[in-house]
Amino acid sequence: MRLLIDTDTAADDAVALLLALRSPGVEVSALTIVAGNVPLEQATRNALATLDVAGRLDVPVHVGAAAPLLQPIAFATEVHGEDGLGDVHLPPVGEPSAVAALDATLELMRSHGPELTWVALGPLTNVATAVLADPVACGRVRELVIMGGVGDGVGNVTPAAEYNFWVDPEAARIVLRAGIPIRLVGWDVSRRPEALVTAEDRAALAAAGPLGAFSARITRRLWEFATSKHHRGGMDLPDPIAVAGTVVPELLTWAPRWVDVECRGELTRGVSVVDHLAVTGQRPNVQLATAIDAAGFKALLLRRLSG
């Protein structure tokens, strides 16, 4: 499996990248960076630091959009820390490619589209930009896996909107309407009680080896935020779940659904509108994750980040 991963690299993104990099039979062809959780420069630095920890600075990192298509940028440093990695403040390492994210994306689509799985872990600005620039090339991709939106209407940045879709709803709408084969993994899957990473899970990860210890360390601020704001006794890891569902699809249960995004609503900007009962008559445009084998996911994460 060949992956192109688009990321706004904060703590759970970094764990997701390590999971992808450590998965047998998976080749990460490139990372493209988008502003979201943290500013673009910091997200780029975090991606390079994560590759360094994994011993994979050979993977090219391409810098993309510094702001959403139309909306002002809104970061999530209160969730992940000012540096996006739990405020561990890793020293700079490596350099990004001189090739821009858009150019690198389109080249990969044109040369490897039918065998390429595109994974989007942040706001969809880079993905939408590529779709607008060359819809034919992007339409050749094997599959696009998106971590974004929610399937149950419960948001994490507004009462009904998930962060990635809320930050750039116009981009999300463009991508969902592009006709690309999409698997959509909403935030709701990661916040199910059985999927939450507990203190015991974090301790096992920290003891699993250098990569596990790194993952536990950089998610400290995320743990503090999640357990004090959203959950009791656990931390959600949406981006690693999306990557797990990419490399081992049977860990998630999928259902065909029509999904769109509200862009202008006073109370509903960024809301993912999911037609669960087919009342619109629209043909499904995504395979939506509706359930998770939580034990299988946690075992996979621990196994891949051990040693």
CATH code: domain of residue 286 = 3.90.245.10
Q: Are 129 and 16 in contact (CB under 8 A)?
A: no
Mean pLDDT of the chain: 96
What are the beta bridge partners of residue 261?
272
Structure tokens at 21: 């990099």
Residue type, 37: N
Unique residue bearing structure tokens 């993994």: 185
HSE (side-chain half, CA atoms, 13 Å) at 268? 9
Q: Is residue 181 predicted with pLDDT exceeding 90?
A: yes
- Structural domain of 238: 2-304
Q: Which residues pair with 183 in a beta bridge?
A: 145, 287
Overall number of domains in the chain: 1
Q: Are strands 61-63 and 2-7 parallel, antiparallel or unpaired?
A: unpaired
**Closest of 215, 134, 23 to residue 3, by C-alpha:** 23
Confidence of residue 232 (pLDDT cuts 50, 70, 90): confident
Give the tens place of pLDDT for each residue, 92-143: 999 999 999 999 999 999 999 999 999 999 999 999 999 999 999 999 999 9
* Residue 147, pLDDT score: 98
Say if residues 249 and 145 touch (Cβ distance below 8 Å).
no
Contact (CB, 8 A) for 230 and 191: yes
CA 177 to chain centre: 19
Q: How many degrees, rounded to 5, is the angle at CA 185 between CA 52 and CA 256?
A: 145
Assessment of whether the complete model's pTM goes beyond 0.85: yes
Per-residue pLDDT of 50-90, as tens digits, reads 999 999 999 999 999 999 999 999 999 999 999 999 999 99
Predicted local distance difference test score (pLDDT) of residue 220:
94
Say how many C-beta atoms besides its own lie within 10 A of residue 295's C-beta.
11
Phi, psi of 176, deg, nearest 5:
-65, -25
DSSP string, 91-150: PP-S---SS-HHHHHHHHHHHHGGGEEEEE-S-SHHHHHHHHH-HHHHTT-SEEEEE-S-
Task: Give the pLDDT score at 105.
Answer: 98
**Residue 278 CB neighbour total at 10 angstroms:** 12
- Position 122 scores a pLDDT of 98
pLDDT 10s digits, 210-228:
999 999 999 999 999 999 9
Amino acid at 39: P
Q: Cα-atom radius of gyration of the chain, to the nearest Å? A: 17
The residues facing 256 across adjacent strands are: 287
Please give the structure tokens belonging to residue 217: 């360390």
Distance CA 181, CA 285 (A): 7
- Which residue type, as a one-letter code, is found at position 165? F
